[in-house]
Amino acid sequence: MTKKQRAEKIVQILKDYYPDSACSLIYQEPYQLMIAARLSAQCTDTRVNIITKRLFRKYPTLQSFAQANLSELERVIRPCGFYRMKAKSIIEACQRLQNVYHGILPDTLEELMTLSGIGRKTANLLLGDIYHKPAIVTDTHFIRITGRLGLTEETIPKKVEDDLRPLLPPEESSAFCHRIVQFGREICNARNPKCTSCPLNEICPSKTIDKSVKIS
């Protein structure tokens, strides 16, 4: 089995296993996903969703974020960590979104990365989830698991993305990233992967024997 064949097989197995997998960040408007993704840096999606529930009520429009008082915004998002840096970049990104892009989230990687605080990983998330374009979100979980699955030996996000792009069907790449994250949380966790019950057991080069299972 070639690496591409393995990748395509993994895509199909996880698609069957997690047919409804989606981004775990809760949002209604495209700019809200941008903000939630910015808050998620060094913070769990669960905590971000708790905070954005209040945040999006307090600032119900893009304009309200663009005009937000920095200290007040810092106070609301403080539980996310790195709140000063995040608050500043959120206001700046919303101002640019409003003034340069007329309130419409751009649909190219290059333009998205001109928004304050938006790096390649978040830009890919936005491209995939908002515009349904081929996108590969190389977060820590994705890098760890695709490495275990033998799809890449790289650990640098851009290099991992470059390795995976020719292996994945473009129309499946964005959803595949969400499925990998869910798979990592439920089965292929970092310390104790549940290899014996893993749907990818037969084709995973890193599978191990589950130590919780006694072998007679």
What CATH number does the domain containing 142 carry?
1.10.1670.10
- Based on the domain organization, do 116 and 165 belong to the same domain? no
- Based on the domain organization, do 156 and 124 belong to the same domain? no
Domain extent, residue 44, equals 30-131
- Based on the domain organization, do 102 and 191 belong to the same domain? no
**Residue 213: its pLDDT value, please?**
39
**Does the pLDDT of residue 23 top 50, yes or no?**
yes
**Residue 84: its pLDDT value, please?**
98
Structural domain ending residue among the three candidates 74, 97, 131:
131
Look at residue 211 and tell me if it is in a domain.
no
- Based on the domain organization, do 83 and 41 belong to the same domain? yes
pLDDT digits (tens, 9 = 90+) for 136-177: 999 988 999 999 999 999 999 999 999 999 999 999 999 999
Amino acid type, 45? D
pLDDT digits (tens, 9 = 90+) for 56-91: 999 999 999 999 999 999 999 999 999 999 999 999
- Based on the domain organization, do 81 and 171 belong to the same domain? no
- Based on the domain organization, do 77 and 103 belong to the same domain? yes
User: Domain tally for the chain?
Assistant: 2
- Based on the domain organization, do 156 and 171 belong to the same domain? yes
**Residue 13: its pLDDT value, please?**
97
- Based on the domain organization, do 38 and 126 belong to the same domain? yes
**Does the pLDDT of residue 214 top 70, yes or no?**
no
Structural domain ending residue among the three candidates 131, 154, 189:
131
- Based on the domain organization, do 123 and 41 belong to the same domain? yes
- Based on the domain organization, do 125 and 188 belong to the same domain? no
